[in-house]
Amino acid sequence: MDIEHLVTMANEISAFFESEDQTTAVAQAANHLRKFWDPRMRRQICEFAAADGHGLSETARRAVALLK
């Protein structure tokens, strides 16, 4: 899958939870990624975040870090 699309989706998911406190928002975003993203998508976003992560919001970046 196109990494730009994954970054956009991760940012949108994270933005949805940002009305919560930061810790809860990160945990909920990570939970959503675990439950609803295909393992290949999770692996790709994790590799991208580890290599560069450009474009990921802070909440999305922290949520992806919890997937490892």
* DSSP-derived secondary structure for 29-61: HHHHHHHHS-HHHHHHHHHHHHHT-TT--HHHH
Confidence of residue 68 (pLDDT cuts 50, 70, 90): confident
Each domain of the chain, given as residue ranges in start order, spans: 3-67
What pLDDT was estimated at residue 59?
98
pLDDT digits 0-9 by tens, 6-51: 999 999 999 999 999 999 999 999 999 999 999 999 999 999 999 9
